[in-house]
Amino acid sequence: MLKTTAMIALLSSGLIILFFPSKELKVPTLPETNWGSKKSGKESTEIRPFKIDVPTKVLDDLKYRLAHRRTYAAPLEGVAWTYGISTKYLNTVLDYWRDNYNWSERQALLNKYPQFITNIQGLDIHFYHIKPTNLPKDKNLKVLPLLLLHGWPGSVVEFQKIIPMLTKPWPNQNFVFEIIAPSLPGYGFSKGAVRPGMATAQMAVIFKNLMHRLGFEKFYIQGGDWGALITANMAALFPEKVIGLHSNMCSTLTGSTFLWSFIGTYFPSLVGVNEHYSRYFPLSRVFFNLIEESGYFHIQATKPDTIGTAVSASPDALAAYILEKFSTWTSTANKERDDGGLTEKFTLDELLDNVMIYWVSNSITTSVRLYAENFNSAYRALKIEELPINVPTGCAVFPNELLSQPESLLKSRYTKIIQYSLMSRGGHFAAFEEPKLLADDIFNFVKKTEELSAAKAA
């Protein structure tokens, strides 16, 4: 009886929130803040070619540190990665890093695609810019600009395998992409802000300006993790710039969607879920899993500089902190494996490339500050995440993503979802884990978007 009454109360409040949304939000105009330390003078608009070139001094220092590491507490018997990274496996990785990982080879691979640096709003921003080459002489083949944004604890390393797929003709598609893949401010070779306030909406302004600097008036955008939040903000704040938004982490986290997720646990068909129940529910499983996996989030959102200092103190600490995420976020089942399932989807070289980006740029502290900026009350008060997204949207839902939401709930925020794909395999690091599946989904989404706009123009 009590349960029924509670459900009725919940349902009615859900309906009220759904049908009587709070008054229309105005799209705020964010200031073009200068985030750098030099406040005077006009910033240079120069676009400088860039190559990763880590000084020998930095590499020698790393070699020394890896050779003089401490002995870490052995993991408890039979716990695999359930207490965090297994130091037993960590030692394997650190040995490999010291003895077999060849940076000059890896650096050459990372330098294979053209990179640049340009100053946007006082910050040097690093990006890959790859134009398709050797295209067949097909007059109907269009080249479309696509901005790719990574997240934490990732980097542009995640895009190395998908870049060649997106810049070459794809079966049955009459377009290819020109890729712009930047490092987020404060990540890798992009400088971090020197004063507070650089959250995802402010990064959206930075990347709108980067695309403008490169001469793109309108473009496609794609992202996962923070990249998904930043691209969503770009679509909400600058819809006139964005032809289409493709996301591998579509999300809407308002009170109303939370309520509906709860209701959906008991009445899945009310939120349009008639199959694939376990992708979204029960909410209790999703909730407890989030609690278990989000401790890092709380500390980074509240004390980013403390955790950043601890983790940047040694390559071992940095690798432990970052690699644990690449295990669990690929699949939570990996926690039960002694090797964390790390090499199921990645090579140790690839994983260490990403750790190297954080190490050589010493950017873990500036990277984790994004959590604090995006979750403080001043930023929440802007209510950017409540703005509707009215551009054509494609959501790729990977089965091992930490949080997946039904299309019906996402539609309360993304009003033009033209593609919602339940992907067959893969987790949080879609481009890194399943580049071909992701590329295919992006091509299909862009094809639909192009056809829609052609139909509108006709």
Footprint of ligand NAG (CB under 6 A): 102, 104-105
Residue 101 CB, shortest distance to ligand NAG, in Å, is 10
Q: Which of 126, 129, 246, 428 is catalytic?
A: 428
Q: Which run of H or of E encompasses 178?
A: strand 175-182
Calpha distance 173→450 (Å, rounded): 11
Q: DSSP string spanning 25-89?
A: PPPP-------SS--SSPPP--EEEE-----HHHHHHHHHHHHTPPPPPPPPTT-TTBTBS-HHH
- Cα distance from N-terminal residue to C-terminal residue, the chain: 58
Residue 435 CB, shortest distance to ligand NAG, in Å, is 24
Nearer to ligand NAG, 47 or 59 (CB): 59
Taking each helix axis as running N to C, give the angle between helix 255-266 and helix 283-293, from 0 to 180 degrees, rounded to the nearest 10: 130
- Return the structure tokens found at 421: 């794909």
Calpha distance 458→452 (Å, rounded): 10
Cα dihedral 317, 185, 415, 421 sign: negative
Residue 108 CB, shortest distance to ligand NAG, in Å, is 7
Among the listed residues 432, 387, 397, the one whose alpha carbon sits nearest the alpha carbon of residue 22: 387
Q: Which of 101, 187, 220, 225 is catalytic?
A: 225
Nearer to ligand NAG, 59 or 403 (CB): 59
- Return the structure tokens found at 261: 């997720």
Q: Which of 220, 280, 321, 371 is catalytic?
A: 371
Nearer to ligand NAG, 223 or 315 (CB): 315
* Catalytic residue status for 441: no
Nearer to ligand NAG, 98 or 168 (CB): 98
Cβ 427 vs Cβ 398: under 8 Å: yes
- At residue 208, the 3 state secondary structure works out as helix
| Residue closest to ligand NAG when measured from CB atoms | 102
Nearer to ligand NAG, 98 or 416 (CB): 98
Nearer to ligand NAG, 77 or 105 (CB): 105
Nearer to ligand NAG, 4 or 102 (CB): 102
- Bridge partners (DSSP) of residue 393 are 245, 417
Residue 349 CB, shortest distance to ligand NAG, in Å, is 12
Residue 358 CB, shortest distance to ligand NAG, in Å, is 22
Q: Which run of H or of E encompasses 93?
A: helix 87-99
Residue 159 CB, shortest distance to ligand NAG, in Å, is 23
Measured from the Cβ of residue 164, the count of other Cβ atoms closer than 10 Å reads: 15
* Catalytic residue status for 225: yes
Residue 102 CB, shortest distance to ligand NAG, in Å, is 4
* Catalytic residue status for 349: no
Among the listed residues 225, 153, 136, 233, the one whose alpha carbon sits nearest the alpha carbon of residue 187: 153
Cβ 378 vs Cβ 423: under 8 Å: no
Residue 104 CB, shortest distance to ligand NAG, in Å, is 5
Cα dihedral 323, 325, 329, 331 sign: positive
Ramachandran assignment for 235, one of left (phi > 0), alpha (psi -120 to 50 degrees), beta (any other): alpha
Calpha distance 437→432 (Å, rounded): 11
Query: What does DSSP say about strands 175-182 and 123-130: parallel, antiparallel, or unpaired?
Result: antiparallel
Q: DSSP string spanning 186-252?
A: TSTTSPPPSSS---HHHHHHHHHHHHHHTT-SSEEEEESTHHHHHHHHHHHH-TTTEEEEEESS---
Nearer to ligand NAG, 98 or 448 (CB): 98
Active site residues: 225, 371, 428
